[in-house]
Structure 1
Amino acid sequence: MTEFVLVPGLFTGPHVWRETAARLEAEGARAHPVDLPGRRAGTDVAADVALVVETIDAIDAAAEGDDPEIVLVGHEYGVYPAVGAADRRPGRVARIVYVDTAPVRDGVPALATLPDQELRERLAAAGDTDAVLDPPARDAWPRWGSTAGVPEAALDRLADLAAPQPLGTLLRPLRLTGAELPPTTGVLCAESGATLATVRMLLSFGDPMMKALATAGTTFFELPTGHWPMLSRPDRLAEVLLAAAAGEGESLVDTTDACTPTAGYLKPFLLDVTERPRERRGSIDLYVPEGAGETPRPAIVFVHGGPVPEGAEPTPRDWPTLIGYARYAADEGVVGVTLDHRLHAVTAYPTAAADLEAAVAEVRADPRVDADRIALWFLSGSGPLTAPWLGARPPWLRCLAANYPIMAPLPGWGVNDARFRPAEVVARGGTPPFVLVRAGRETSAIAATVAEFLAAAEAGGAPVEVVDVPDAPHGFEGLDHSDSARDAVREAMRRVLGRLTAPH
C-alpha cells in the first residue's frame, strides 16, 4: 500500500489536501496531510523538515515490520521540508512529487517560492528570520499563484484558514547531507505558466537545471489548472499522484538533444527564403537586400523570446526561425535584423529592454537603413518588451508586430514591473499600429494575456490587427508547415510592410 505524505505550501495547512486525500484513500492508498503547527515566529525550514521526518517514522512504526512505499508530495514551499525529510531518511522514500514548484537545491532558501520579486528582495534585505509574513487578503490570493479553477467556496476556505508564514522557513537555507535522493515527479500547472512544452524548450536551450531532470527516473505531468490543483482539480491530482507513485509520467530523456522535433525554433523555417549571408556587428546581425546601398531601406528588427539561459547554444540570432524571418524581410526589400538580448530570467526585462534600445539605435545609424521607417517584431516571451515602445511611439517607429506573444508576466513569474505590461499602455490609446499573430493551439495561460491585451486595445481605440493561425502551436514556424501557417506569416509580413512603406 502506498503511503502519501502531503506537505502544504505557504500559509496553508492540511485542509488544502482534504479532497485529494479522500480520493487517494478511496483508491486504496493512505494519505497523511502534514500539519505544520510551527506557524509562529522563529520557526525555520529545519523544524518543518523534522515534522515530515516524524510522519515518516510514524508510518514505519505503524507498519510493524512491513516496508510501506512512502511518497512525499510537496506543494510550492512544502517541497523543501519534503526533500529535507527524504535526505534525512535515505532509502525510506520511494518518490518525491513537486506540485507547481521548481527544483530544490542544497543551501538555497525557500524565498524563491514567493511569487513577488519586490517582496523577495525586501525580505532578503531585512533578513529578519524571527518575524512572520502575514497571509494575503481574500482578494489578493491570485497574486500568489493562479487561482484558475478554484471554486469560490474553496477560495473562501483558503483565505479563512490561512496562517502566517514564519520568515525563518523562507530565509534560512535548506541544508542537505548529500544522501542519495529518490526519483522525482513534477506536476506542472499550465495556468501558472508551467507546461511540458516550456520545460522541453528550457532543456533544449541547455538550461543546467533542466538537464539535471533529464534522467530515466524523473517524470512529469501537466494539469490544465492553476497553482492550487488540490482545490481546483483534487480528484485529477489524486489520479496523477497514484500514477506518479507507479513511475508513470512524461520523461525528458528523449528530449536531451536540442535538435529534437520539440525544439521548433531550431527546425527549418516554414517558408523558402533566399540563402543570403549575415553581417554580424556585436550583438546584432543584418540581412541586407540588394541595392540597399543606393537607396536606404526600411528595417524590421526581430526580437527573440525567452527567457533564454545565459550560455545557451546556439544563441537566438542563430535560430532558423529568426534567420528565416530576417531573410524573408530582405527578400521583400527591407533590412532584416536579429539580435541577442539578455533576457536570461523573468526578472531581466529591464536589461533586455536596454539591449533592444541600443540595438535599434545602431540599426537606425546604418546608412543603408531608412532611419524613419522601422518596425519591431517580437516573438513569444519578448511580448512584455513591447510596452515601452507602445508608450513612447517615436515617429520613426511605423509598426509593432508580435507572434504568439506573452503579453503580460505570467502568474508564476512574480514580476510586477509596470513598465512591462502592454495592456496598461494600449488602454490609454495613441499607440503605434500593432500586428498580432495568434496561435490557435496556444496554452491557456498565454492566451489569457493576449485576450487581456486585445480587450485593453479595444477599450483604448488602439490599432491592433490580428492574424489568426487556428491550428498552429506556440512557436509554430518550425513545427507547422501547413498552407494556413505559411499564409498567416505572409499576411503578417504584408501588413507590416504596408505600414513601413505607407506615407507618414
Structure 2
Amino acid sequence: MQVFIMVAGTFTGAHVWQETAARLVAAGHAVHAVALTGIDPARPAVSAHVGLETHIEDVIAAIDAVDVTSGRQIVLVGHDYGIHPVLGAADRRAERIARVVYLDCGMPQNGVPALAAVPDQALRAQLAERAEAGEREGVLAPPAHDEWERWGSTADLGEAALERLTALAAPQPLGTLLQPLRLTGAVAAVPVTGVLCARNGATIDLVQRLVDFGDPALAVLTAPQVTFFELPTGHWPMLSCPAALADVLLRAADGEGHRLRPAGDDAQTPAHLRPFPLDVPELPRERRSHVDLYVPDVEVPAPAVVFVHGGPVPAGARPSPREWLALVGYARFAAASGMVGATLDHRLHDIADYERAAADIAAGVELVRADARVDAERIALWFFSGSGLLTTDWLTQPPTWLRCLAASYPILAPLPAWGMAGSRFHPARAVEQAGALPIVLLRAGRETPEIAATVDAFVTASSDCAARLELVDVPNGHHGFETLDAPEETLPAMHQAMRSVVTHLTS
C-alpha cells in the first residue's frame, strides 16, 4: 500500500487533486495533497518572504507525518512547478521515498531556480529582469480565464473545469520561482516515473528521440529504475482525466511503465541514423564552417538547395545534424539532380533558441551563396520538423534569390507548452507576405494531432492569401517518414517534391 503525497503546480493548490485523490483512496491508498504556504488558503504565509525553501519544508512536513511503522511506501508526485519542492524534499528524505513521479514537468537541476521552467519566454525574461533589479519579494498574479494556455495546453479541460481553475487560482510568491533548487545528490537513488501529457507537446517517442541523439546528460533517463507513461491530454490531467491519471499513478507506484532504450543500443538504430531510402551518388563532403557542401559534376555555377534540420537537438548530440544520414541523403539527392546540396548545423538546442538558430541559418545560407560554384541568385531552402518555425523569416518579404521554400513534416506554429505566444516565429502569419515565392509542403498523413493542427492552420492561411503553395501528401507517413516508413510509401512524394524544387530553381 502507498501513501501518495501530491504537490500542485504554479498558482494551484491542493484542491486540483480532489478527483484523482478520491480514486486513489477508493483503491485503498492514502493521499496527502500538500497545502503550499502562501498559495493554498489552508496555509497562509506568516512572513513577507515565501521561497522555494518554504515549500520544500511543507513537503518534508508531509513526509515526516507518515507513520514509518505502517509499512506504507511514500510516492511523491510533483506537477509542473511542484516537482521543485518535491525534489528538494526527496533529496533530504531519500531513504523514505519509494518513487518520485514527474507529472508533465521538466527535469530541474541543482542550483537552477524554477524560473527556468516557466514556459512563457517573454514572462520569464521579465521576471529575470525584476530579479536582477533586486525585486525578489511580492507575487506573480495568476492567469485570467483566457491566459492559461501561456502555462500549458488546456486541451480536454471543459469550460467548468477551466472556470474552476481560474476561480481558485492564487498568486505565486516570486521567491518560489527565483530561489535556486539545492540538491545533495541523494535523490538520484530514488526510482522515478515521468508522466507525459501528449497534448502539451511531450511524448515518450519524443523523449526517446532526444535520448537517441546521444547527449550524455539524458543517459540517466534510460536507467532501469526510470519509467514513463503517456496520457493523451493537456497539461492538467488531474482535471481533464482524473481516473486515467489515478490508474497511471497506481501503476507507477508498482514500478510499471515504459523504459527507454539507451543511445547506441544495437537492438534498434535511431530514426535519424537510419539509411536514406533512396540510392544516391556517394559524393564527398566539403566543409565550410558550420555548412557541408555536396557539389555535383555539372557546369557551374549551379543552383543550391540548403537543408535545415529540425529540433531542438541537444548540444551534445553526436553525430551533429548535418551528418545525419537523412540530411546527407537529401543533399546528395539534390546533387544527383544537378543542384549543389548543402546541410548545416544550427544551435536550436532549446525552445528558447529560435533567435540564434535563425541567425545561424542566415549565416550558413550566405556561406553557400558565397561559394564560386553556386549560383547565388538561385537558392532553395528546405526545412524539417521543428525548424518549420524558422521559415518565418524567409516567408516575410523573401529575397529575390530565394526561388523556392520547401518543408517536410514541419511544425508551423509554436506548440502550447513552448511559451512562444508573443514570438515572431509564426509562419501562418508570415505567409501573407510571401508574395510569389513557391512553397512546397510535404505533409505526413499520420502526423501527431498537435503538429497537424499547425500545418492545417498554415494551409488555411496560405489559401486565404493565395500563396503559391504546393501540397505533397504522404498519406501513411509519420513524422520523420523518410527513415520510419516503407520506401514505397515515401519515395513518390520525395521525388515529386524534389522535382518541384528543381523546377523552381531552374525555370
Which of the five TM-score ranges fits, normalised by the shorter chain?
over 0.9
1:256 deviation in Å? 2.5
Superposition map of 1:412-431 within 5 A: 412-416=417-421, 418-428=423-433, 430=435
1:365 deviation in Å? 2.3
Superposition map of 1:197-346 within 5 A: 197-252=205-260, 254-257=261-264, 261=268, 263-293=270-300, 296-346=301-351
1:118 deviation in Å? 2.0
Residues 262 and 187 of structure 1, relative CA distance in 2, 3 Å threshold = farther
Choose which of 74, 79, 93 in structure 2 pairs with 1:75. 79
- Please report the TM-score for the alignment, with normalisation by the length of structure 1: 0.95
CA distance in 2, matches of 1:427, 1:225: 32
* Aligned twin of 1:173: 180
Choose which of 487, 496, 501 in structure 2 pairs with 1:496. 501
Choose which of 54, 66, 83 in structure 2 pairs with 1:59. 66
Superposition map of 1:42-191 within 5 A: 42-60=49-67, 65-127=69-131, 128-180=135-187, 181-191=189-199
Alpha-carbon RMSD: 1.7
SS of match in other structure, 1:285: strand
CA distance in 2, matches of 1:223, 1:55: 27
1:501 deviation in Å? 2.0
Q: Contact (CA 8 Å) 1:94, 1:183: kept in 2 or not?
A: yes
CA distance in 1, matches of 2:75, 2:196: 18
1:431 deviation in Å? 5.6
Choose which of 485, 488, 494 in structure 1 pairs with 2:490. 485
Q: Contact (CA 8 Å) 2:37, 2:58: kept in 1 or not?
A: no
CA distance in 2, matches of 1:429, 1:356: 18
Residues 487 and 259 of structure 1, relative CA distance in 2, 3 Å threshold = farther
Residues 179 and 359 of structure 1, relative CA distance in 2, 3 Å threshold = closer
* Aligned twin of 1:446: 451
Tell me the alpha carbon deviations over residues 300-324 of structure 1, each in whole angstroms, 9 at most, x when there is no partner. Answer: 1000111122232111111000010
CA distance in 2, matches of 1:360, 1:23: 56
1:20 deviation in Å? 1.2
| Residue range with higher mean Cα deviation, 69-78 or 351-360 | 351-360
Residues 209 and 100 of structure 1, relative CA distance in 2, 3 Å threshold = farther
1:395 deviation in Å? 1.4
Q: Contact (CA 8 Å) 2:397, 2:434: kept in 1 or not?
A: no
Query: How many residues get paired?
Result: 496
* Aligned twin of 2:411: 406
1:30 deviation in Å? 2.2
CA distance in 1, matches of 2:152, 2:436: 31
SS of match in other structure, 2:4: strand
CA distance in 2, matches of 1:258, 1:500: 41
| Residue range with higher mean Cα deviation, 360-369 or 161-170 | 360-369
CA distance in 2, matches of 1:499, 1:460: 20
Tell me the alpha carbon deviations over residues 451-501 of structure 1, each in whole angstroms, 9 at most, x when there is no partner. Answer: 222222222222222212122221121121330211111111122122222
SS of match in other structure, 1:490: helix
* Aligned twin of 1:29: 29
1:409 deviation in Å? 2.1
Tell me the alpha carbon deviations over residues 350-383 of structure 1, each in whole angstroms, 9 at most, x when there is no partner. Answer: 2111111122122222232222221100011111
CA distance in 2, matches of 1:492, 1:396: 20
* Aligned twin of 1:368: 373
Q: Contact (CA 8 Å) 1:73, 1:96: kept in 2 or not?
A: yes
1:359 is aligned to 2:359: no
CA distance in 1, matches of 2:194, 2:79: 10
Q: Contact (CA 8 Å) 1:38, 1:48: kept in 2 or not?
A: no
Residues 178 and 285 of structure 1, relative CA distance in 2, 3 Å threshold = closer
1:428 deviation in Å? 5.0
Choose which of 372, 392, 395 in structure 2 pairs with 1:390. 395
1:262 deviation in Å? 5.9
CA distance in 2, matches of 1:20, 1:292: 68
SS of match in other structure, 2:65: helix
Q: Contact (CA 8 Å) 1:390, 1:431: kept in 2 or not?
A: no
1:445 deviation in Å? 2.1
1:170 deviation in Å? 0.6
The letter for the 2-side match of 1:80 is H
Q: Contact (CA 8 Å) 2:311, 2:385: kept in 1 or not?
A: yes
CA distance in 2, matches of 1:130, 1:272: 62
1:441 deviation in Å? 2.2
CA distance in 1, matches of 2:297, 2:350: 38
Residues 491 and 207 of structure 1, relative CA distance in 2, 3 Å threshold = same
SS of match in other structure, 1:382: helix
1:237 deviation in Å? 0.9
Q: Contact (CA 8 Å) 2:306, 2:382: kept in 1 or not?
A: yes
* Aligned twin of 2:475: 470
Choose which of 454, 458, 464 in structure 1 pairs with 2:463. 458
1:191 deviation in Å? 1.4
Q: Contact (CA 8 Å) 2:192, 2:227: kept in 1 or not?
A: yes
Residues 243 and 262 of structure 1, relative CA distance in 2, 3 Å threshold = farther
1:259 deviation in Å? 6.6
